[in-house]
Amino acid sequence: MRILYVRLPAAITAVFFLLTCLFLYPGGEVLWAASSAPSEEEAPSPLEDGQYAVDVNGQAAAALTDQNRTTGLRVEEGDVVSVRAASPFSQIYLVWDSPPGEYEIEPGTGDVLAGGQHGFLHDYTALPGETDRMEIRILQKQATLCDIYLFPEGPLPSWVQQWEPMAEKADLLVLPTHADDEHLFFGGTLPTYAGERNLSVQVAYLTNHWEEPYRPHELLNGLWVVGVRQYPLISDFPDLYADSLDTALTLYDRQEVLAFQVETIRRFKPDVIVGHDIDGEYGHGVHILNATTLLEALELAPDRSAFPESAETYGSWDVPKTYLHLWGENTLTMDWNQPLQAFAGATAFEMAQQGFAMHTSQQAYFSVEDFGPYDCRLFGLARSTVGPDLTGDDFFENIEAAEAAPEVSSPAPPPGLEASSVSRPPALQANAPPAGGETRLGVLLAALFIAACFLAALLFFYRHRRRRRDKRPRPK
């Protein structure tokens, strides 16, 4: 009985301690029920499914309240989306699966707010006051609405994206071919110049991924994480694979691609452009098409007689500096390993990795590398109107505007963004790994280790006492 008396409390204590560690971690958050987004003490959570109801033209629309971007509802001109909530809200976040047309928001306060002017897939609107109901009137164009998030007053979670319109005058224009190329091949470019230096950075994609509806969401989430705040330009060219430039030219009209490049340069008037390897990175024919047409467009953009339609709209522009990834002349190796204040000390390389981590559908195929044949640090100055680089550590060397730009801007990363943790929206997509999984596993292993040590100590104590008892002289 004495053995049971010693062992039973110890076992119960150890099991209780282990279960406590399994269900709780520092801060009191329940691991088992934790959402995929890290907690943010000052940010209110969106109203949950069941706390509000949505209908479209009087028909219930549960797909718009499930906070799951793999579901949605097609809406078209004339449709009315009605929202009724159990508690007041003053901020809304609409997630679309394709660029919406214009719509109106009537929040029940007597105001009418315009929406959709910029075609944002992730569209945030602050209402003029608190309300428990609103209507969204679709004014033009069919589009798929995935989710409606409602928030009370207060700061927002970091995954809520508050996009600014595309730049009128960009400091830096980045020209990836596909969603994720901006992280894989251009490395720390975006976190350094958009997030840390707070320059006007415009990203323009040569192809789109509308046939893979999860990828545009990954694109926006990746840009947001690395500090880009101006909405990207996404072309009308579909994403098609080509194993050579010749194959790419059978899939795309070269003059149309060239016209797009010239118009993009004239529209954004960048001081610096960063583009692809002339050999297509890993030989992708559309990457080669992107790089070769860019080099030609740089010579045509200053000439108003070339593609006069875009010259009439935007004027002409001669880009001061253009860098290509892995270009073999006037080379420089960017240092992406310096800690960035805007990202809580994370390096530009680490932030590029975090940006790419948002592209969950591509994780099995690629990785951000600062070594080997696709080293994201290696660039060359392919064209310059301001002379050669001397120090070779800054794309904006010899560019006065960038030297006068504001230094680190603390609002650059969203509130709550830390180097070791990227917040994700609820149900970002069906196959997205929940954020913080490594932390939860670490807590579990630590709990098991502590419990094992606790049991071992009790066992040692018990055996020590038993030996002492057994050594006592027994009465005869």
CATH superfamily of 52-151: Galactose-binding domain-like (2.60.120.260)
Break the chain into its structural domains and give their ranges. 2-36+435-471, 52-151, 172-403
Identify the segments of the chain with pLDDT beneath 70: 1-44, 49, 401-449, 451-476
Q: How far apart are CA 383 and CA 36, in angstroms?
A: 45
Handedness of CA 116, 119, 121, 126 (dihedral sign): negative
- List, for residues 8-17, the tens digit of each pLDDT value: 455 545 544 5
Q: 172-403: CATH homologous superfamily?
A: LmbE-like (3.40.50.10320)
pTM, 2 dp: 0.78
Q: Residue 475: its pLDDT value, please?
A: 47
